[in-house]
Amino acid sequence: MGGQELSCRQYAQLRGMAVINVFREEGISGGSTDRPEFFRMLDLIKAQKEEVAVIVDDLNRLARDVAIHKTFRALILKNRGDLHCVKMQLSDSPEGEFTETIVAAVGELERKQNKRRVKDRQRARLENGYWVFNNPVGYRYLVDVLHGKILVADNPSAKVIRQAFEKFASNELLAQKDVLNFLRERKLVNSLGNIQKISFEDVKRIFNREIYAGIISYPKWGVSPRIGKHAPIISKKVFDSVQRKLNSHKTIYRTGLERDFPLRGYVACSGCGGTLTASWSAGRRGKYPYYRCNNTKTCDVRPKSIKKTELESRFLEFLESVKIRPEVIRLTEKITIEKYREKTLDINQKKIDLKQEGKKLEDEVGRVVDKIMNSNSQNVIERLEIEVDRLTLKMKALEKELLGVEQMPVTLEISVSKVMEFISKPALFWAKGNFEQKRMVQTMLFVSPVEYSSERGFGTANLSLPFKLLQECGGHKTNLVEAGGFEPPSVSSLPSGLHA
């Protein structure tokens, strides 16, 4: 029993009052109106048939804000309660009300001064290179003899975040959707052991946090970027590379127009390097579609407009030149099958893990319910009921997650068929595809816009990492074919079953 509760009970005993209940609010600011225990108390006194005394040890225990104090005092009176304070005599007289207001104002001043002192200490720590707020996922706090409370890497989440940054920077993961899937598959766990539910917004938030590169800043308090005392998870070079990629997104055009021009934003002018825009131009007999370079000040390339049919037909020819040798395609097919099987095994294992976790939660709920049945304390029962609710919510979340992994999204045949169609004939895939499929081909093939000249056609493309590797595998110096294509097969470092 705490000192405040003891003094309140003694106050009640001296005045012959029976204690109905005790309400404690721990860790809640006296300047907040979000006070669940206070409103539970109101419900209790409202249900009583006679007036109930509400006893506080000190007046600032009710509220440390003048306006909130007056509001709470009025609510107590309105619900047939009578406020008592152990440390001062309360009165409804003008003098008593004035004194009460002064005491509440002093409490408010102390609260604001404490808040300012805490803020000043936090700002000083930030300026010295120490993070002072909640630790981001991938880090945990450690109390160090030299530094005090300092961030340290929290593995395996720190390793997963580092891989996400590096793979996105190197274009191994092409888009944020790929990063989202990468993080969801590997599961980010915070320092409390809770699995994080990753969304697109979370991916952006992680990629924009310079704290992972060892940088501390807090513009809201005027703290400019500086080298932090904690060890970075990624290098500044990788962080800057990710920022450049995030800031180089294609322009989003008005709905409808972009579907007429799938190459808009993906092709660059050979003269100035700017991406081509596109539009319909009015002629004598109707409207005609053109791609064009709008840079008339520093770009000398002519003509500025290129017919849609011309550019897209030459783009198809260009896609035809992206050739992958047959033996590499066969190897890719085997890798796809192997990865699909691995994914199936992962999903089956995840089902088992989720079911086991669900069983543990069920057992835990059972143990808590047993405690409720054997307890005579109303306070203990209420706390245990809250715990049951928390465990039940976790069980529902697990059930929902289990439903999401019950089946593979597509069959093996469809998966392999789609991958092979795209790998072997990207031009055909682009020609037959709708707008979204055309954009998918362009995004998966090219890291940056491909330069185009009306005279020379398309220049050298900066292919994405997967296609770059496939083309390298298809070159004359590769030994992938002889790894398993001839008898007797030579030793290969490839996984078993993946020899071409």
Q: What's the rounded Cα separation, in Å, for the pair 129 and 94? A: 52
* Length of the chain (residues): 500
Q: Residue 291: CB partners within 8 Å, gap ≥ 6?
A: 261, 263, 264, 267, 276, 277, 278, 305, 306, 307, 308, 311
CA 153/CA 401 separation, integer angstroms? 28
Domain finish residue from 190, 224, 246: 246
pLDDT at 34: 73
Calculate ∠ Cα 427-428-433, nearest 5°.
100
Residues 485, 494: contact at Cβ < 8 Å?
no
- Nearest of 120, 113, 111, 20 to residue 67 by alpha carbon: 111
Segment 53-99, tens digit of pLDDT: 999 888 877 777 888 888 888 888 888 888 898 888 887 888 778 88
Q: Does 195 reside within a domain? A: yes
DSSP helix/strand/coil, 234: coil
Least confident of 211-225, 300-314, 382-396: 382-396
Structure tokens at 198: 């990753």
Helices (H), 272-325: 308-320
In this structure, the answer to whether residues 92 and 119 fall within a common structural domain is yes
Whether 14 and 106 share a structural domain: yes
Q: Specify whether 77 is located in the same domain as 158.
A: no
Question: Residue 486: its pLDDT value, please?
Answer: 32
Single-letter amino acid code for the residue at 144: D
The residue among 370 and 411 whose pLDDT is bigger is 370
**Which of these three, 246, 264, 292, is where a domain ends?**
246
Same domain (yes/no): 186, 119: no
In a domain, 471, yes or no: no
Residue 457 domain flag: no
* Structure confidence at residue 406 as a pLDDT band (50, 70, 90): low
Looking at the fold, whether 112 and 225 belong to one and the same domain comes out as no
Residues 6+ apart with CB under 8 A from 331: 473, 480, 498, 499, 500
Cα Rg of the chain (Å, integer): 34
Q: Specify if 480 maps to a domain.
A: no
> Based on the domain organization, do 100 and 157 belong to the same domain?
no
Q: Residue 80 CB: number of other CB atoms within 10 A?
A: 13
Side-by-side strand order, sheet with 267-269: 267-269, 450-453, 457-458
Q: Could you list the residue range(s) of the whole structural domain that residue 88 is in?
A: 3-124
Between residues 419 and 78, the one the model is more confident about = 78
In eight-state DSSP terms, residue 65 is S
- Residue 8 exposure: Cα atoms within 13 Å on the Cβ side: 23
For 294-297, the CB contacts below 8 A with 24+ separation are: 295/269, 295/271
Q: Are 202 and 211 in contact (CB under 8 A)?
A: no
Query: Does residue 145 sit in the same domain as residue 51?
Result: no
Report the pLDDT value the prediction gives residue 255, as an integer from 0 to 100: 43
Q: Are 224 and 200 in contact (CB under 8 A)?
A: no
What are the pLDDT digits (tens) for 31-60?
Answer: 566 788 888 888 888 888 888 899 988 887
- Main-chain phi, psi angles of 274, to 5 degrees: -75, 150
**Is 319:419 a contact under the CB 8 Å cutoff?**
no
Q: Which residue has the higher pLDDT, 286 or 422?
A: 286
Structurally, how many domains does the chain consist of? 2
DSSP β-bridge partners for residue 151: 141
pLDDT at 496 (0 to 100): 34
Q: What is the pLDDT of residue 483?
A: 35
For residues 144 and 120, membership in a common domain is answered with no
Q: What is the pTM of this model?
A: 0.47
> Helices H, strands E: what count in the chain?
17, 12
How many Å apart are CA 436 and CA 214, to the nearest integer?
A: 39
Same domain, 17 and 114: yes
Instruction: Let me know whether 163 and 116 are in one domain.
Output: no
Closest C-alpha to 446, from 432, 433, 459: 459
Which of 205, 226, 246 is at the close of a domain?
246
Tell me, yes or no, whether 181 lies in a domain: yes
CATH of the domain at 198: 3.90.1750.20
In terms of domains, do 82 and 149 share one?
A: no
pLDDT surpassing 80 at residue 399: no
b/e map of 319-349 (b: 16 or more CB within 10 Å)? beebebbebbbbbbbbbbbeebeeeeeebee
Q: What are phi and psi of 218, to 5 degrees?
A: -155, 80
Q: How far is CA 118 from CA 128, 132, 225, in A?
A: 15, 11, 21
Average pLDDT, the chain: 79
β-bridge mates for residue 289, sequence order: 280
Tell me, yes or no, whether 33 lies in a domain: yes
Please tell me the distance from the alpha carbon of residue 463 to that of residue 450, in angstroms, as a whole number: 9
Cis check: omega of the bond before 466, within 30 degrees of 0:
no
Q: Is residue 16 part of a domain?
A: yes
Following CA atoms 302, 303, 309, 313 in sequence, which dihedral angle do they give, to the nearest 10 degrees?
-10
> What CATH number is given to the structural domain containing 96?
3.40.50.1390
The rounded distance, in Å, linking the Cα atoms of 127 and 125 is 5
Q: Is 91 helix (H, G, I), strand (E, B) or coil?
A: coil
Specify whether the CB–CB gap between 290 and 261 falls below 8 A: no
Asked whether residue 25 falls in the same domain as residue 114, the answer is yes
Query: 313 is written with which tokens?
Result: 């037909």
Q: What confidence tier does 484 reach under pLDDT thresholds 50, 70, 90?
A: very low
pLDDT in tens, 157-184: 999 999 999 988 887 787 888 888 889 8
pLDDT of residue 215 exceeding 90, the answer is yes
